[in-house]
Structure formats: C-alpha cells, structure tokens
Amino acid sequence: MEEPEISAAAAQIMKNYEFYKIQKKRKESKGKFLSIDLESVGTTACRSLGPELVAHDTWKNLSMDHILRAAGLKRQNIELAKAVITARLLSPGSEAHTQRWIKYRSSIAELINTDLLNTKKDSVYDISDILLYYKDEIEKLLREREATLFPRDSTLFLYDLTNTYFDGVCKGNSIAKRGDSKEKRSDCKLVTLALLVDSQGFPVFSQIYEGGNQSL
C-alpha cells in the first residue's frame, strides 16, 4: 500500500531532478549569452494597454457599435468615436490632447483600426459634433441596452446642473450667455449642462441649456 509521505517525497525528488536536468542542459549549451547593463536599458514608443482593454470590453458589452450604427453613424465614424470616447474616459483633455493620446500614447488604435494613428485634430472636433447631432437617439438606445444588462425598478432619479464657460466672444453660439459661473468666470459666456441619472447612477438623458439657467 502506497504511503502518502513516501509519495510526496518521491514527487519532490523528481521535481528537483527535472530542475537539475534543465540547469545542466543550459550549462552544456553552446549558445551565445550577452550581459546587459540594466542601468543603461531604455524604452521607446511605449503605449498603454490595460485600461484600453477594459474600455474595449465595456464597449462590446454595451453593444456600442450596434447602437451607433442604429443611430445613423457610418463605420469610420464609429471607430473614431470609440477611440475618442475611450480617450476622454482614460485621459481627459482637449481635442489636441485626445489626438496626441490616440496617436502616441495609447494602443487603442491597434485594438480598433491602425488607420486611427493618422487621426487629425479636426477629425476629433468633427466626431464630437456628429455624436452631439445623434445624441438623443444614442441616449435612448443606450438606456435600453443598460436596462437589459442591469434590470431594476428605478423610482428615484437625480437631476443635476452645472455650467462651463468659453474663452472668446462665441459669436456662433446662440445659447452661450453670461451668468453665474461656478468657476467664477463672469467675464466669459457659458452654457448650462443638465444630467438626469437613476438611483444606480445610470444616465437617463442629458441636455444643454442657455447659460445662466441654473434655476431650470
């Protein structure tokens, strides 16, 4: 009858023996080895990947490609929207910052389409306008998708307001008005941003109002 102690000891011996054979083989190998000075090693063209994989998986679970296609966007715009939205989530900044992040700092283009590495700053502005144009339909479809992923009976909603200001005269922006700025920039025109979320924090809809309408 096999003794557990003997079996365990034999297994350990065989494990050590296999390790010994590997080490012996390495010593007998005629391969060439180089010494590396770790203090002088450098890296170039490094790109982040981990957060992009999380965003990529979330995008897939939310069926965002289908939602944007159903809302009316073309494939090229869907790909650019995914890259820009991911950038705004992981590295918020201006359009110029977003374009540089996609081109030089992130692997998001490799996950979507390497042609995005050639994205120009104007394209980042343009896709924001396109998403705003289809905003109502996108919010509606996204809300429906979230309800299937996270079924719940929402009876409590939170409606919040804030504002953001613009540098410049905003001649082409009819809703930019002077008002009480949360950032104390009474010298600039601003718009009021509204967001309705449910009890779980999921957005229901958003809206942009004239500046100064904090009493809506």
With beta carbons less than 8 A apart as the criterion, state whether 68 and 135 touch.
no
pLDDT in tens, 53-84: 999 999 999 999 999 999 999 999 999 999 99
* Averaged pLDDT of the chain: 87
Which of 10-14, 80-84, 159-163, 207-211 has the least mean pLDDT? 10-14
Dihedral sign of CA atoms 113, 114, 120, 121 in order: positive
Is pTM beyond 0.75? Reply is: no
pLDDT in tens, 27-42: 666 667 778 888 888 8
Q: Using 50, 70 and 90 to split pLDDT, how confident is the model at 216?
A: very low
With beta carbons less than 8 A apart as the criterion, state whether 86 and 52 touch.
yes
pLDDT in tens, 87-112: 999 999 999 999 999 999 999 999 99
Of all residues in the chain, the percent with pLDDT exceeding 90 is 51
Cα-flanking dihedrals φ and ψ of residue 159, to 5°?
Answer: -115, 120
Tally Cβ neighbours within 10 Å of residue 45.
6
**What pLDDT is stored for residue 214 in this prediction?**
52
